[in-house]
Amino acid sequence: MTKTEMSTVTGAYLALIGNYLESDLDQDHDLDPNLRLKDLDQDLEQDIETRFRDLARKYGIELDDVELSSIERNMVWFENNLDTIRYPAAYIRKMVRDCGVRKRIGFQPSKQPPKEEEETETTEIYGYKVEDLDAMFPYFDYSTYTAILDHLPASSRILFRSFEDVRSSRPKLRVFLAEGKKRGVV
């Protein structure tokens, strides 16, 4: 084998190895230096946001719902020059005043509804005592139902569609009878 043939074969062999190493088919993405740098940038970006939110919280400013990605350079500068800033809280407010609302992705814990006060027992409906309305229950029949229903506006009739529906629900029956008293039917 001559020197030129040897160099051609060696070049071809090295090119083959290079192609094999560059292909994505058999390469582990965790070992790819380009991908690791991208991941590192994302980690640093998330880290700077976390540190900045913690700093803001230290100065009494809550930024959990503020999108900070547009002021990344400002956050880095702020963190590096914190000791030279006279009024950090005012500076933070000025930095984030034009930022938008943070979009939440994925599962988020639901906000707890405010605790309701203890339910007070209803004693009157339309100014009529509940005891008086309850006393009318034994006298409620289909003819009473139709008489009251005829005097109700169409928007209220939707709530009291059937005799059995009204009769089976104590709260509905109370309101229905109060409507009848209010309109002078009962």
pTM above 0.85, yes or no: no
Q: What is the pLDDT along the chain (186 residues), one digit of tens a residue?
A: 677 777 777 777 777 776 666 665 544 555 555 555 455 455 555 688 888 889 899 988 888 888 888 888 998 999 899 899 899 888 988 888 888 777 766 666 666 776 666 667 778 888 888 888 888 888 888 988 888 888 888 777 778 888 888 888 888 888 888 888 888 887
With residue 18 as reference, give the H or E element that holds it: helix 3-22
3-state helix, strand, coil in the chain (%, to 5): 65, 5, 35
Tokens representing residue 124 in the block = 């009157």
